[in-house]
Amino acid sequence: MELIHLKIAVITDVFYPYIAGGAEKRYYEILKRLSKKNEIHVYTQYWKNTKKEEKYNGIYIHRLNYVKNLYTKTGRRKITPAILFSIFLFFKLFNAPKFDIIESNLFPYLPCFISKLFSLIKRSKYSILFHEVWGKYWYNYFHNDIFSIIGRVIEIMASHLTKNIITYTPTIKDLIARSFKISKGNIFLIPSGVDMELFNKSSDNKRYNQLIFIGRLIPEKRPEILIESLKLIKKRITLLIIGDGPQKTYIKQIIKNNNRHEIKFLGIQSYNNIVKYLSKSSIFILPSVREGQGIVFLESMAAKTPVIGVKKFDSGVKNIIKNNYNGFLIEKDNIKELATKINILLNNNETYKKFQKNGYNFASHFDWNTISRLLFIYYMKLLNKKIEISEFKYFWD
């Protein structure tokens, strides 16, 4: 019988098969690897056509409250699912066994307080995965001072539930430390990764005039900026848009008004299809102004597809894209600059090949197998177990 090293509980309101973003993808990829030698339990929400209890890829999945839709029509998270999840979680953890580690996904905040309570009751080590700092963004999110203040207070309280915080990039680490007066020594960098083997198997037969956007259709992702920039591109190109969200109707209308280029709205796609589209496209562009890290940039680099992202002080993208080395960084909402960078990659083969090579080499350091090992080492350190800490690798040297 194989030795079980650790017993770990992960609290996240969204999990497989609901994989709509980087956080869900991260947990699924890491936990299925850790489950080979550890007992992993995930507490999440119950979706249509899923089982309330199942073991999948070695992970014990406990689905609690039923949820039909996480978002309002305007794209904001509904508060009711978070409240229900927290209530159901309380009773589920009350009857759960003792875990060595309890880790919470920070968002949507409320379950973190329940998780912290049971980490104290059951004497488990408690850790939080911190994606980004919202801070003043709460006022843009709610457009209501009372709700915004409540959101900020809850975020501040949640950030001080534990001294064991995980985040993705140096940028977000600095923001957490500065925004919440937390020692950087309590914030551990464990980035999200990419399945290099999967992309190595994919075709690299590029369609050199095909651009691609992948992301949730919300204002922060700025898909309209990319579409508008195409008006400045002389060479006829094809743009693929993959994703869904509250801006879908708006984006489709913009597409109708753009007659110069072929723009295909593909909606939600399976991950295997995303790998194929990324591998065949010539440039990946995400003008997003809010990213904790941006897994899709690493996936594009692994697919040898050059990338263009946005440089912003509170975005982790600038830790992934090294401007003019493995991609281009542009200023926020700068349509003219974006068009210029697209034109360079379409017409300058030397720059294109450089980004392909450097991007692929950079992404190779972020293989999910390496990331999973780093998280296991982190857990062992929390438990004061002996392990070779030199295996921690700093990815941004």
- As beta bridge partners, residue 71 has 77
Spatial distance between the Cα atoms of 256 and 254, rounded to a whole number of angstroms: 5
Domains of the chain: 7-193+367-391 (3.40.50.2000), 196-364 (3.40.50.2000)
Cβ 277 vs Cβ 271: under 8 Å: no
Query: Would you give the DSSP letter of residue 71?
Result: B
Residue 264, phi then psi, degrees to nearest 5: -110, 120
Q: What span, in angstroms and rounded, lies between the C-alpha atoms of 339 and 281?
A: 17
pLDDT one digit per residue (tens) for the chain, 397 residues: 345 689 999 999 999 877 667 788 999 999 999 999 999 999 999 988 899 999 999 999 999 999 988 888 777 889 999 999 999 999 999 999 999 999 999 999 999 999 999 999 999 999 999 999 999 999 988 889 999 999 999 999 999 999 999 999 999 999 999 999 999 999 999 999 999 999 988 766 889 899 999 999 988 999 999 999 999 998 899 999 999 888 899 998 888 887 777 899 999 999 999 999 999 999 999 999 999 999 999 999 999 999 999 999 999 999 999 999 999 999 999 999 999 999 999 999 999 999 999 999 999 999 999 999 999 999 999 999 876 554 445 455 4
For the chain, the C-alpha Rg in angstroms (whole number) is 21
Residue 32 class from Cβ within 10 Å (0-12 exposed, 13-18 middle, 19+ buried)? middle
| pTM for the full predicted model | 0.92
Distance CA 89, CA 112 (A): 10
